[in-house]
Amino acid sequence: MVDLNQIVAVVDDDESVRRALKRLLRSAGLEAETFPDGEAFLGTLSSAASCRPACVIVDFQMPGIDGLELQRRVAPTGVPIIFLTANDDPAVRKKALAQGAAGYLTKPLNGTGLIRAVEMALELRYFHKAPSPP
């Protein structure tokens, strides 16, 4: 099993999108692991914090488990989620952000914007895990 702790997970049913995002993340010095659907990704999660990804980038509209359902299942782990969608729906955007999404981006993506969103999500995760000062 891959140690996902320092990896950005990319969950998208489009293989070309997964490949492109993996290349983009690696070009920014980030490791990425790709998954074709929510079921495949959820199968890698563990209750152990060391086996959780640092961040998840997920396509909203996928067969099987959609992005909002994946978010609901991942939320208890504290792993930040960034949504991607080709069909921007204000109601979905509002729901995703209200449920704690770290970002909501529309396709076609701006690579710089995605990298910034990932970096911000990783910073938020770091600060949530950091111990409180005495």
At 3-23, the pLDDT tens digits run: 445 799 999 999 999 999 999
Residues 6+ apart with CB under 8 A from 10: 18, 21, 22, 25, 32, 33, 34, 35, 56, 57, 58
Q: What is the domain-level CATH number for residue 109? A: 3.40.50.2300
Number of domains into which the chain is organized: 1
For the record, the structure tokens of 129 come out as: 């895990």
| Cβ–Cβ under 8 Å, residues 93 and 82 | no
Residue 41, domain extent:
7-129
Q: Does residue 134 belong to any structural domain of this protein?
A: no
Q: Does residue 2 belong to any structural domain of this protein?
A: no
Write out pLDDT tens, residues 87-124.
899 999 999 999 999 999 998 888 999 999 999 988 87
